[in-house]
Amino acid sequence: MTTSILDSRPLFELGAEIHIAASADKIYSIVSDMKRHSEWSSELQDGKWLSGEPGQVGSIFEGENFRSDDIVSWAPLIRGIWHTKSEVVETTPGRAFRWKIHSKTGEPQELTWSFLIEPTEDGATLSQTFRMGYASPGIHEITKDMDEADKRKFIADWTAKMTRDITETLGKIKVVVEKD
């Protein structure tokens, strides 16, 4: 019996980095403000804090997202507007800001987004990472009617999409931070 790609651990672990001519503290102050993420995100359009102190560990942020029809167009993804709830799980000023996406039932998933900042002599290196330790309920829903070949194609296509998104996001953040 062949193991499904959905049994891979982690299912996704990707990221990119960029140098920014600004202090680590300045970069952190911008990337830790989740209301600003719509300035550079490919999907997040808006959002609001539902509980807790904005940007602090344990606080919950509801994001309003939009996905167009041309994103991995062959797969049965949510299109148009959809919502996520995220819980801030790490806030280390000048170094790291992380959040986990909650499932539809409100439980934190093993699905983490991170910004990591490493000071340099002339600014800092900003990394963004995405890690999904196990296939989320959403991934299972998307792939439920796919054979193994299509599941593998979806994971490859989604990895390519996410890698592009992260690279573009970092480029947009660089512009925002260096302009602010």
- Point out which residues pair with 96 in neighbouring strands: 92, 116
What is the rounded distance in angstroms from the CA atom of residue 93 to the CA atom of residue 78?
34
- Quote the number of domains for the chain: 1
Which CATH number belongs to the domain containing residue 39 in this structure?
3.30.530.20
Amino acid at residue number 112: T
Domain encompassing residue 148:
11-179
The answer to the question of residue 2 being in a domain is no
pTM value is 0.92
Amino acid at residue number 175: V
**Tokens 């340099």 appear where?**
120
The answer to the question of residue 108 being in a domain is yes
Tens digits of residue pLDDT in 34-84? 999 999 999 999 999 999 999 999 999 999 999 999 999 999 998 999 999
The answer to the question of residue 69 being in a domain is yes
Tens digits of residue pLDDT in 131-150? 999 999 899 999 999 999 99
The answer to the question of residue 151 being in a domain is yes
- Point out which residues pair with 61 in neighbouring strands: 49, 86
The answer to the question of residue 61 being in a domain is yes
